[in-house]
Structure 1
């Protein structure tokens, strides 16, 4: 992946600064500085980049997972891409398979799976289907801004409620509160759990890292709303980025006070195009710390930006990774966090009814 050649400009409300070419691109255009005045368009980025929603009809709803370091077997993602624009997002390279940039395209060209609920209903009606641990939003935020109007996530949860299929979800969005009328009754039956990601309590850092996600204080309020509604709620303090979000203990304490009772973390990972994109982000927002951050990330991965090995890709290894682990475990033990995911009841599942809406309650 080539280095950027021109001075970059941060784009308001966006995590990426360029439409970085993806790894499958046949033609790659590189800008160069010829000392002439340039515009944002010359740099490959507009000063204000609108969000475009592209509708897609899918053939399958449930994705199978066989990665041993992930705590769920199935996942459902109502969208491809994510308008939250998190600069560190490990899912950015998935846009490469659509011939789109993992940079600006990932957060401005959102693919909405408009027939997802109908396809899911068919899959849950199959005679051979057996429920397993299912998570919403593993490669996108299912409560990103587009969900406010499209309501694809709500439609999926309605099908899961109808079939009494247990699920968990993870989000940075306060929009999950809208669907408490569906989630809370399922939680009371042991069928639902929610995790809220709080990367840092530093609002200014969060705005740069995750420009269109809910503010940290708002996520804590969402944790409280979920807990008050009887929903088992946990907190993700991921990813841990050396020398940037250094307030892990404070986040865990604030989330505990808000009602979270489970917690997990991961260390920053930079697969494929995420590595040059995050280097661009550092050059724009933390140039004085860029080399230290990247050096520490590589130290935790044997000198590489990323290791795909299941045993190390989430947490890294070495002295620094061990220090993070100790900080997390000691804080969780002091506060009383559980060390296992919420157990959900698989025995209540009943196959979906085809040819009609079926029962919602």
Structure 2
């Protein structure tokens, strides 16, 4: 790489980072706090990944998702998952026309750039499988025809960690297809005061104005390829994933708390997210700290903890803390 090329890439990365900061700024005019949530959603859009949001009701999950869609001028769709939902309610169906005895495809709400699947764990297995095909293949089959989904296509799925009655556990195969699992907590007292002052009104709050177009977003995705990641950092990523499967190799006494570790998809997403994090930080290269910063959100839903861990109130985040502190950055 020449000096001129390096300088051009640096300018491009800085321009993209500045544009994404504009997106964050306009969302903050509506959503109070939740800076990390917004950053991770932007990261998911950059890396072409899906996001699972876990949090109690009323912490602005839906508002953040809809505001993000407006900010990037994306088509937004929301569907409330219920136990009586059918796959066709999500993907669409074939409609019969008696005039010429033919069927035509009626596309469902999944045909959007940003789909909010609210309370995904309330839907039965057939609906979850239909969403799984859309997430993985970026396409939907209606009858004998297959339709490509819009580009970009991002699923934001929410689930309530409190209510378990009337819910269906998400299978590991589906959970693994989410790039991030984000925990959305309560706002601080100061943030909640701002929420009350801004939202406790009879008039609707101001809408978010678009500051980024979808073609610009797709160009940013291409620029992500220019962010350098050294093989030493890649090896660090692989060691972290290996430690979730064979912790004893790294002198970690956590095997009794794990049923199984992370899949190879975790390594891919960690590498992508680390490069995306570097881009957001206006860097053309990735450092180990980028990996550490995104590790919990990438891995917490990929570690299957044992009953013993649950009995001792040990979470996957607790185990990840131990892994990150023990696995060396430089191979010994």
> Which TM-score tier does this pair reach, normalised by the shorter chain?
under 0.3
Q: TM-score, normalised by structure 1?
A: 0.25
More strand by share: 2
Structure with higher RCO (Cα < 8 A, 6+ apart)? 2
Q: TM-score, normalised by structure 2?
A: 0.26
More helix by share: 2
